[in-house]
Amino acid sequence: MSDTTLKSPAWQGAMVSSGDARGHRGRPDWTDIGFFLILAAGAGYALSVFGSSMDYYEKVILCGAVAGFSWMAWLWRPLRTLMVLSGLSALFAIWLYSNGGGLGQGDITRAESVFFLKYLFSSQSAILWMCALFALATVCYWVGFVSKTAAWLGTALTWGAVYAGVTGLLVRWREGHLLGPDIGHIPVSNLYEVFVLFSLITALFYLYYERRYATRALGGFVLMVVTSAVIFLLWYSFTRDAFQIQPLVPALKSWWMKIHVPANFIGYGTFSLAAMVGFAYLIKEHGETRSWGRLVPLFVLGAVLCAEPFIFGSREVSMTWMLYFGVGAIVVGAILAFRGPISRKLPSLEILDDIMYRAIAVGFAFFTVATILGALWAADAWGTYWQWDPKETWALIVWLNYAAWLHMRLMKGLRGPMAAYWALGGLLVTSFAFLGVNMFLSGLHSYGEL
């Protein structure tokens, strides 16, 4: 992107109106300090009550989380509101489980007898609300192309879904400990939990870019991949009872999991966001073309992406996934058919290109850190840094794919449709590394088999 574009009035207007200008964030004010003190008090309470159950590294991670979340909340203030509301809701649920006793007590069976737990704040109820709200938000974002009110509602529903999902994960963490002292663990250990995490991370990064660039036109595109994850989550949950909290396998009983998995899924989430922004870029690029021949590669790629859950969902033909694939292909075709009016509502190609680049850059940084952490974890668990396990091999393929994308952009000036097609195609590679390996291959990382 040229300096002229970055200095244009339209570009600067989008930045200023979003509330996140490119300059310094400013010094922390009293609310930032107060939020830090709240987090520090919570960490202090956890250390005093549960410190005997934590090792040295877990205590360091907890203290580091206080500093990290305080910093992120200073950079993006809406995140602070989300954490406060989700934290209060989780504490309310924990209090309900304890029947008014101390936070260290509780009865898991109250999830079926207490109204607020049964219908709102138990982990499964909150996550189901998250799924419903994400689906509704996707519809509202698409209706938002003809109604500003619907687009605003899409944003509100997305925030509601993220709030519900974060609350659900926090409560699920406590529910595991209520089931037994050896069962409780951070909820990022299996496919069910990481699908929730993936949906939340992707949506949060989208909401950040939505505010930063003052546009809601990308919500329908990005929320499509989140809704796909939600559909898979529901299918996986109810056909395999995946929502049940199970004890960790021995290899996962490590503090490494607390930092490796979140870093990994920040990469997956931002790569997916970049892919859908790449799809929007191609719609914008071909918005006025009358030749369907130029759109065939885009339709084929979109249809293949729609078919992925169908392929990964079951080894046998499933009516659920046949229906999903059919509806997905129709949706892609409809977007291409109405590309003209859609493209006129989308941000400029320069803004789309910038979002795509920033998302991949952030994802690549976190994915690199996650890969290094994974190697260190492997050395700690298995005595070797790298064993060419299928999951490790495909993680390397994902890393090389986006390393090449960034290299071509920074060294060769990669821009335009080629960059967008590459980002969209990268979602195929990322999806196989995320799900395909679990479905078709086996190895040391087969903790979330389908």
Percent of the chain with pLDDT over 90: 57
What SS3 class is residue 176? Answer: helix
- Distance of alpha carbon 354 from alpha carbon 356, whole angstroms: 5
Query: Rounded to an integer, what distance in angstroms lies between the CA atom of residue 122 and that of residue 138?
Result: 25
- pTM, rounded to two decimals: 0.90
Number of H helices, E strands in the chain: 18, 0
pLDDT above 50: residue 173: yes
CA 72, 77, 78, 83 dihedral sign is positive
* pLDDT tens-digit readout, 308-350: 555 555 555 567 767 777 787 888 888 888 989 999 999 999 9
- Say if residue 251's pLDDT is above 80: no
Domain layout of the chain by residue ranges:
30-75, 253-450
Q: Write down the mean pLDDT value for the chain.
A: 85
CB atoms within 10 A of CB 449: 10
The arithmetic mean of pLDDT across residues 202-229, rounded, is 95
**pLDDT at site 114:** 93
Angstrom distance (rounded) from CA 208 to CA 202: 10
Residue 368 has pLDDT above 70, yes or no: yes
Q: What is the pLDDT of residues 273-292, one digit of tens each?
A: 999 999 999 999 888 666 55
Task: Tell me the pLDDT tens digit for each residue of 103-135.
Answer: 667 889 999 999 999 999 999 999 999 999 999
pLDDT of residue 14: 44
